[in-house]
Structure 1
Amino acid sequence: MSLKDIAAAAGLRTPVRHQLFINGQFVDAESGETLATLNPHDNSVITQVAMAGRADVDKAVAAAHKAFPSWSRMAAMDRGRILLKLADLIEDNAEELARLESLDTGHPLRDSRMLDVPRTAVTYRYFGGMADKFHGEQIPVEAGFLNYTLREPVGVVGQVVPWNFPLMFTSWKMAPALAAGNCVVLKPAEITPLSSLKIAELMAEAGIPDGVVNIIPGLGAVAGQYIAEHPEIAKVAFTGSTATGRRIVEASAGNLKKVQLELGGKGANIVFEDANLIAAVNGAAWAIFHNQGQACIAGSRLVLHEKIADAFLEKFIPLARSIRLGNPLDPNTEMGPLTSLQHRDRVLSYVDVARSQGGEILSGGNAPGGDLARGCYVEPTIVRAASWKDRVAQEEVFGPFVTVITFKDDAEALQIANSTEYGLGGGLWTNNLQRAHKFARDMRNGMVWINCYKRVNPGSPFGGVGASGYGREMGFDAMREYTQVKSIWVNVDAQLAPHYLR
């Protein structure tokens, strides 16, 4: 099928973009190398996408450096207007973007429509509004001096986004960087680059000057590695696995570039004996099964008080079994496929890991057959662990796979919650106000949700501690990540005595 035919079959209005976006133009890779992008519903080929190599990274960085002086010195209000225009264009093209994201990633169309696209637009709108509201400070120092600070963009920023939420994460990375006056070289995941390339098209339409944004799909070991190493990139921001994050840090050491990492997670979702059981059951299902569990903040450890564990599971297991799996482009689908066969097989391998350590499979644990057999599907899977020390309770599975652990008292619940190397997000369900605030303080996480889970907003900082990385997305913290402070001292009327007399 031609790209036009593929687009028509998926309900898209325009052909699928499949080239690199460098200096305002869609171009082939210097090497001519491409990689097939697959539809995870049936593993059919959507298109062949250009794969950037080191020469393409160099071209993108050169274009960004050339564009940086004028973009960084543009009036902040004008940069903001462009981002606001982009937000409008995303909303104008919402259905196109939603279908493209679902086709490429396996996100159910209803989620792409209701969550991914709106969150993307609101992020650009938030930072478009912030562009002229983020500023330095005047600092009271000794008499006779004026001291003030400037918040300056860091320069050319390299950004690497993962395959689980490519559309949304592209906005989380680029919106604050651009609002602050930086230029961007962004590498989307090689298996899900299509929505990022569509955003490049809309950015050009919104009026972002040539070279300010460069989007270059490529292999992580090639393009991603070189972005981290590149001596003319001032900062690298990465979202992905902890193992890759460590390699990013090592590669960045050459020019001591600034590094921001949003890495893995193993979220504890604690349900106490006094919780609203219905709310907790529904919240726990959302925490782990949304986007097929492919979320770093997923509530993948379900930590239940022993007094209510059976009652909770009596409601939770039937709910998990009722989730409708199917073609992500079907509006009735509630859970789509995982993003690749390789990842599907990795998730399923943890079923054997659980059994080998004495775990019990309470539901799921299989790839469905029938019409879904050709795709990357995994049933919603619930496993009761023999111990909170088991691998399935410590390692990030990154799929629709939740580990059930029980506890006796608050002290044990907190011990379990803080027992992994990760520290991204966690939640708790309780009507005890004192307990809620105590756990929010004592859980070793960058984010804690009380009587809810997986809430995000452009104004609220997002990030973790420990093996979950460092730095923050969103809010004023994100603008701080993409700027550096310069302190200016002015002698107004201070009389300076000479230090050396002759």
Structure 2
Amino acid sequence: MAPPGRPRRENTVQTKLFIGGEFVEGVDGATIDVYDPHDGSLLAEVAEARATDVDRAVEAATKAFETWRHWSAEQRGRLLLKLADSIEEHAEELALLETRDTGHPIRDTRTLDVPRTAATFRYFGGMADKFQGSVIPVERGFLDYVVREPVGVVGQIVPWNFPLMFTSWKMGPALAAGNTVVLKPSELTPLSTLRVAELMAEVGFPPGVVNVVTGYGATAGTRIVQHPGIGKVSFTGSTAVGQGVARGAADTLKRVHLELGGKGANIVYGDADLDAAVQGSAFAIFHNQGQACIAGSRLILHESVADEFLDRFTALAGSVRLGDPKEPTTQMGPLTSAMHRDRVLTYLDAARNEGDEILTGGRAPDGAEFAAGYYLEPTVIEADPAHRVAREEVFGPVVAVHRFRTDEEALQIANAVEYGLGGGLWTRDLSRAHKVARELRSGMVWVNSYKRVNPGSPFGGVGRSGYGREMGFEAMHEYTEAKAVWINVDAELPRLYGEG
């Protein structure tokens, strides 16, 4: 229930678990409060899934798999294409729902989140009947071919920062490959995923092919990870939790895909187009309030342009329009939860204590319109690369700035952290661009841009950023097993035993 004095909104959204093609209450009737990060009002009370509810979902998914796996790839793809169309038909509704639940500005959910979600389902809908096996050249007389078969029931755990988009990233390839799904969205932001489940039911996905269980990580998430009936678990979230997922999956030897934290290096060389670099670097860190694993949270500036760049960049940061994310003119909304905003503030305290210089921001904004929400000003800190704010994932609108003299020094700073998800660089030197892209310890590199994603381009990292890939052919491999089949065409087998 809503705490005393906290405003309550009329509930017009789906709040139940989606199991076996039906929306149902949890077995014990417990609920989770979901809040609007702009003003702290109660958006909904969603069903809290416990371990028993996850068991019900796995049972439904297991039953559905025996039918779904035998559907033709064309049939599966057609349903995903219909879902993509339905998402586009409900684009404004989904954009507003995502904005209210996450605090992500409506201008971004309209132009980025919803279109990317539809595009991902459409990509994998088209991929379903184009994902091919192979023939292996072996000795004469034999045919050896490899087919890709679905894993079975897969468990998927989606984070709170881009719930709508990540739902498509997880479900799209899994369903296209013939798997069935038990997906848990974050307890903080479950509403858009539940709406997608409604649309999936409407376009005709068979009961049990997709199941959505809203619950806490410690209960529902842990049961997904440890359930013996789940053959693979795909998790996106923090590195610390991802390590626990890997440990929890070990007893059942299920496959694990981890897309974890990041500390993206964003290098600006002396020959960069500064106008483009300033704008691109702002998008890299302030988009979605910096709540992105691929955020460009470390600005590494060549000393010849550092002062001019910072003059422009801090002025731009100070001009970012904070406010109600439902307003089209808002450029940056609140962080998604009060707990997370407080966590980010601890990093700012650490930066002050370690002697780093906060060039702009560093606090909650003034004004009555921000008082009830979880807001934080865009923050730029000139920091020692060895300090916490420069080494650990802050996951907020906070960028640590460093300076360099040589290309070698830039790479040394960039590769000094344990994460390796995304990184970028700004230069007009084509040779340097290719060299640095090769040398950056990162799963993705952007040159003269940042945070570009596409359903066909593999997404994932190295080191403490996890392993495995979302998107593209790589994702289809993540959700299938290779089976080699040997056929004796006309080979004469030697007589190895008995009398000749």
For 2:130 and 2:451, locate their aligned partners in 1 and report how far apart those are by CA, in whole Å. Answer: 28
- Could you give the per-residue CA deviations for residues 155-197 of structure 1, whole angstroms, max 9, x where no partner exists? 0000000000000000000000000000000000001000000
Does structure 1 residue 123 correspond to structure 2 residue 81? no
State the one-letter code of the partner of 2:21.
G
- Letter aligned with residue 162 of structure 2: F
Q: Does 1:34 align with 2:41?
A: no
Match of 1:179 among 176, 181, 185: 176
Task: Let me know the Cα RMSD of the aligned residues.
Answer: 1.2
Query: One-letter code of the match for 2:418?
Result: E
Instruction: String of CA shifts for 1:366-389, please: whole Å, max 9, x gaps.
Output: 11132111100000000010x211
DSSP-derived class of the 1:438 partner: helix
Percentage of identical aligned residues: 65
- Displacement of 1:53 in angstroms is 0.3
CA contact under 8 A between 2:154 and 2:182: conserved in structure 1? yes
Question: Residue 69 of structure 1: CA displacement?
Answer: 1.3
Q: 1:379 aligns with which of 350, 362, 377?
A: 377
Q: CA contact under 8 A between 1:7 and 1:16: conserved in structure 2?
A: no
Paired residues of 2:9 and 2:41 also in contact (CA < 8 A): no
The letter for the 2-side match of 1:285 is A
The answer to whether the aligner puts 1:162 opposite 2:159 as a matched pair is yes
- Secondary structure in 1 matching 2:251: helix
Which residue does 2:288 correspond to in 1? 291
Task: Give 1:281's aligned amino acid.
Answer: V
TM-score scaled by length of structure 2: 0.97
Query: Who is 2:91 aligned against?
Result: 94
* Partner secondary structure for residue 161 of structure 2: coil
Cα deviation, residue 6, structure 1: 4.0
The answer to whether residue 335 in structure 2 is matched with residue 338 in structure 1 is: yes
Measure the CA separation in 2 of the matches of 1:129 and 1:319: 41
- Alignment match, 2:419: 422
Q: Check whether the contact 1:86–1:203 (CA below 8 A) recurs between aligned residues.
A: yes
Instruction: Tell me how far 1:7 sits from its aligned partner.
Output: 6.2
Please say if residues 9 and 42 of structure 2, whose CA atoms lie closer than 8 Å, have aligned partners that are also in contact.
no
Q: In structure 2, what is the Cα distance between the partners aligned to 1:243 and 1:492?
A: 52
Question: Is 1:198 matched with 2:210?
Answer: no
| SS of residue in 1 equivalent to 2:336 | coil
3-state SS of 1:269 partner: strand
The 3-state SS of whatever aligns with 1:244 is: helix
1:153–1:181 CA contact under 8 A, matched in 2: yes
Distance in 1 (alpha carbons) for counterparts of 2:203 and 2:283: 35
Structure 2 gap ranges (5+): 3-7
- Which secondary structure state, in structure 2, belongs to the residue aligned with residue 255 of structure 1? coil
Match of 1:304 in 2: 301
Structure-2 residue corresponding to 1:473: 470
Partner Cα separation in structure 1 for residue 116 and residue 373 of structure 2:
27
Structure 2 CA distance for aligned equivalents of residues 335 and 87 of structure 1: 28
> TM-score if structure 1 supplies the norm length?
0.97
1:327-366 alignment runs, 5 A limit: 327-366=324-363
CA separation in 2, counterparts of 1:29 and 1:384? 49
In 2, the alpha carbon distance for the partners of 1:31 and 1:338 equals 31
Separation of aligned partners in 1, 2:371 and 2:496: 82
Match of 1:61 in 2: 58
Q: Output the CA distance in 2 between the equivalents of 1:307 and 1:399.
A: 28
* 2:211 counterpart (214, 218, 241): 214
Structure 1 distance, partners of 2:382, 2:494, is 75
Residue number in structure 1 paired with 2:14: 17
Higher mean C-alpha deviation, range 188-197 or range 492-501:
492-501
Work out the CA distance in 2 between the residues paired with 1:462 and 1:480.
Answer: 13
**1:447 corresponds to 2:444:** yes
> AA paired with 1:35?
I
Q: 1:54 to 1:72 in 2, by over 3 A?
A: same
Counterpart code for 2:483: K
TM superposition shift of 1:408: 1.0
Deviation sequence 1:226-263 (CA, Å, 0-9, x none): 11111110000000000000000000011100000000
CA distance in 1, matches of 2:339, 2:18: 28
Alignment of 1:319 with 2:341, yes or no, is: no
* Residue 145 of structure 1: aligned partner: 142
Q: Secondary structure at the match of 1:73?
A: coil
Deviation, 1:356, is 1.1
Residue 100 (structure 1) shift: 0.3
Letter in 2 for 1:456: V
Residue number in structure 2 paired with 1:456: 453
Runs of at least 5 residues in structure 1 that lack an aligned partner in the other structure: 9-14
In structure 1, what residue type is equivalent to 2:443? G
Compute the displacement of 1:501 (Å): 2.3
SS of residue matched to 1:334: coil
1:105 equivalent to 2:102? Answer yes
In structure 2, C-alpha distance between the alignment counterparts of 1:25 and 1:323, rounded to whole Å: 44
- Supply the distance in 1 between the matched residues of 2:242 and 2:259 (Cα, whole angstroms): 8
What is residue 71 of structure 2 aligned with on the other side? 74
Does the aligned pair in 1 maintain the 2:334–2:376 contact within 8 Å? yes
Q: Which residue of 2 aligns with 1:397?
A: 394
2: CA distance between counterparts of 1:164 and 1:64? 27
